[in-house]
Amino acid sequence: MCGIVGIVDAGGVSYPLYYALYALQHRGQESAGITTFDGKALHKHKAQGLVAEVFDVDSLSGLLGNAGIGHVRYPTTGEKIPENIQPFNFTFQKKKISIAHNGNLTNTQDLRREFEERGQIFCTSTDTEVIGNIIVDELRHSSSMQDAVLACMKRLEGSYSVVVLIDDKIYAFRDPLGIRPLCLGKTPEGYIVCSESVAVDALNGEFIRDVKPGEMITISKEGIKCVQIAQASCCGFCIFEYIYFARADSVIDGQLVYDVRRRIGKSLHLEAPVDADIISPVPDSGTAHATGYSESSGIPFREGLIKNRYIGRTFIMPNQKARENAVRIKLNPVKKHLRDKSVVLVDDSIVRGTTSRRIIDLVEDNGAKEVHIRVGSPPIKAPCYLGVDMPTREELIAHNHSCDEVCKKIGATSLHHISIEALIRATGHAPEDLCTGCLTGVYPLKIGNEKACTRHIDFISGTYQSDLKTFGKEETIK
Ligand code: AMP
């Protein structure tokens, strides 16, 4: 998973981009980068590490100009090598171009092979570079970014929210199913497009709306233009963004993530009530879910575990051993809240099961007499090919274990996962507008031999002016 941002602002963009990336840090902790354009040249700074480690006053002061893009990376494709750190910069026919992407293409190998057969070289092992190549290939024939994005939407399979800086303009587009989030906001003297609305908030900006699936937004010093390039019969919003990935204070596709999680907690209580002494979240990802359970049950919300704020998400650790050690550093039990108590522990998801087992041990070792686990997602049974690091089926504890078996394996007094129906209701979206591939094994597009419930996609015709469809017409936001 990754986070992306693009800003055009007459007051300069280096610090706004930096603050926005800070707000999106949860989407990727492996590397961070910014590219800006000052009217003549691109300026870039990128490196491995957290945003706070990558940038300092010196590097930010070199990022000149009023247009720029930024990226935080959590690698799901491509190795962890410096060449893969985004944004990627290049020059084409005197145009200075930079690109950053969140998502995961499922046809990268085919596209890459096709370019390589034509003698094209690649400098990275990412799918993002393939997107850059399609754009440039199209710009070669027609100088229109609308054509280039149309070509992308016709050829790319998978998930992609993309920002492209071409000289002093930013183009942002979201795949026709809208799998990964992307939204638009107003900054003091310009506009921002970013993965989550928290980045708009970080700049004290004004949230405008989500970028629509299949839409392209152009931001320049003149303002904003929006054009619908493709229209799918249904969307494929990633349900895992709501369960775990996005920040609780973000609004994604019209839903405040915190509200979704509270509704999940409420449903967890209605589906599996317990006569317990306290409701405790597994911090931080289970907090909003636990609030909902507590409100619905009337049982007090009390934190039984406190998280060390200065450790990254455990799943960024390179191997199982590192992940296991990280749990101990990450969470400290509050003995007084746990001793002789019957505890409902609410977590967002169980992936491999390692975290739950360790947490239950921790809570029991500190005196809890019962530990009831309530989980804000149905069992995760299938991998994600669309941008979340969800391992192979074999690594997923729910793949070949029933709920009762998982309960025994993790040592819980009881275990309940929210039903898929209640989860979908909690998101506020229609079931056909969501990607639930990791929960159901059915994906919104064809991926290898996996089951799919594909969407029909219409594209705008080549003659935009005479296009009679409701989409394909440019609209300006003042
Ligand atoms: P585990 O069951 O040990 O893999 O850990 C699951 C916990 O890690 C969940 O409660 C989440 O907070 C977090 N998590 C969420 N997504 C992932 C993921 N893709 N891979 C690993 N851990 C994740």
Both 320 and 362 in one domain: the answer is yes
Number of domains in the chain: 2
Q: Which amino acid is at 177?
A: L
Both 208 and 263 in one domain: the answer is no
Report the percentage of the chain scoring pLDDT > 90: 86
Both 105 and 166 in one domain: the answer is yes
Average pLDDT, rounded, for the chain: 93
pLDDT digits (tens, 9 = 90+) for 419-437: 999 999 999 999 999 999 9
Q: In testing the pocket of ligand 1, which one of 238, 314, 315, 352 has its CB within 8 Å of the most ligand atoms?
A: 315
The residue assigned the tokens 């078996």 is 405
The reply to whether the predicted model has a pTM over 0.85 is: yes
pLDDT digits (tens, 9 = 90+) for 356-406: 999 999 999 999 999 999 999 999 999 999 999 887 999 999 999 999 999
Both 224 and 324 in one domain: the answer is no
Answer whether residue 459 is part of any domain: no
User: If pLDDT is split at 50, 70 and 90, which confidence band does 416 have?
Assistant: very high
Both 196 and 345 in one domain: the answer is no
- Residue 475 above 90 pLDDT? no
Both 150 and 265 in one domain: the answer is no
User: If pLDDT is split at 50, 70 and 90, which confidence band does 471 have?
Assistant: low
pLDDT score recorded for residue 80: 78
pLDDT digits (tens, 9 = 90+) for 433-463: 999 999 999 999 999 999 999 999 999 865 4
Residue 84 domain boundaries? 2-233+467-477
Answer whether residue 178 is part of any domain: yes
Answer whether residue 86 is part of any domain: yes
Both 214 and 278 in one domain: the answer is no
Answer whether residue 456 is part of any domain: no
Q: Which residues contact 392 (CB under 8 A, 6 or more apart)?
A: 383
Both 229 and 257 in one domain: the answer is no
- Residue 469 above 60 pLDDT? no
Q: Say if residues 414 and 373 touch (Cβ distance below 8 Å).
A: yes
Answer whether residue 346 is part of any domain: yes
Both 283 and 215 in one domain: the answer is no
Both 425 and 325 in one domain: the answer is yes
pLDDT digits (tens, 9 = 90+) for 97-148: 999 999 999 999 999 999 999 999 999 999 999 999 999 999 998 889 999 9
**220 is annotated as contributing to ligand binding:** no
Answer whether residue 454 is part of any domain: no
C-alpha 363 to ligand 1 mean position (Å): 18
Answer whether residue 461 is part of any domain: no
- Residue 467 above 70 pLDDT? no
- Residue 293 above 50 pLDDT? yes
pLDDT score recorded for residue 465: 41
Both 216 and 283 in one domain: the answer is no
pLDDT score recorded for residue 463: 44
Q: Is the CB of 199 under 6 A from ligand 1?
A: no
C-alpha 389 to ligand 1 mean position (Å): 9
pLDDT score recorded for residue 464: 45
CA angle at 97 for the pair 92 and 103, rounded to the nearest 5°: 120
C-alpha 12 to ligand 1 mean position (Å): 38
Both 229 and 372 in one domain: the answer is no
pLDDT digits (tens, 9 = 90+) for 246-259: 999 999 999 999 99
Q: Where are the beta strands (DSSP E) in 309-379?
A: 331-333, 342-347, 370-375
Its sign, for the CA torsion 231, 233, 235, 236, is negative
pLDDT score recorded for residue 436: 98
- Residue 315 above 60 pLDDT? no
Q: Say if residues 200 and 194 touch (Cβ distance below 8 Å).
A: yes
pLDDT score recorded for residue 326: 67
Question: What CATH number has the domain bearing residue 358?
Answer: 3.40.50.2020
- Residue 170 above 90 pLDDT? yes
C-alpha 358 to ligand 1 mean position (Å): 13
Q: Is the CB of 171 under 6 A from ligand 1?
A: no
pLDDT digits (tens, 9 = 90+) for 1-46: 899 999 999 999 999 999 999 999 999 999 999 999 999 999 999 9
pLDDT score recorded for residue 309: 81
Q: Annotated active-site positions, please?
A: 2
Answer whether residue 218 is part of any domain: yes
Question: What CATH number has the domain bearing residue 135?
Answer: 3.60.20.10
pLDDT score recorded for residue 312: 58
pLDDT score recorded for residue 230: 97
Q: Is the CB of 210 under 6 A from ligand 1?
A: no
Hey, whose CA ends up nearest to atom 9 of ligand 1? 349
Measured distance CA(265)–CA(297) in Å, rounded = 10
The residue assigned the tokens 């890459």 is 112
Closest CA to 239 of 444, 398, 436, 381: 436
Q: What is the mean pLDDT of residues 206-211?
A: 98
